[in-house]
Amino acid sequence: MTSRYQAAFLMLAAGLLPVQATAAPAPDSGGYIKPELSIGRAYDSNLFWSAANPQSDSIWRVSPGLEAGYRSDKFTMGAFSSIDWLASCEKSHD
């Protein structure tokens, strides 16, 4: 692995690099299906805005999606659907 790929992998693992993967673009006419995957992470150091007892947490978000449609010279129709999966990285605050 080159250092460029190692740096990108480390940023992805650390949640610093938003990722969106999409299939190749559809042809000019005809039907198409495009899968999509988005991955992201958010961190909040004080979830409940509490001065006395701040609680932090990280949340991972994974969103697979699918776009399908039809293109022609006379009309275009399409639909997109996705779902979000959230995972909390809870920490103990004793």
What pLDDT is attached to residue 69? 93
Q: In whole angstroms, give the CA distance from residue 31 to residue 78.
A: 9
In a domain, 81, yes or no: yes
| 76-82/57-71 β-pairing | antiparallel
pLDDT, position 62: 93
Q: Is 94 inside a domain boundary?
A: no
Band the pLDDT of 74: cuts 50, 70, 90: confident
Is 9 within the bounds of a domain? Answer: no
The b/e string for 58-88 (b: 16+ C-beta within 10 A; e otherwise) is ebeeeeebebeeebeeeeeeeeeeeeeeeee
Question: Whole domain around residue 81: which residue ranges?
Answer: 18-89
Residue 1 lies inside a defined structural domain of this protein: no
Q: What is the pTM of this model?
A: 0.51
Instruction: From 48, 23, 50, 27, select the one nearest 37 (Cα to Cα).
Output: 23
| Structure-block tokens of residue 75 | 């009309």
* Structural domains of the chain, count: 1
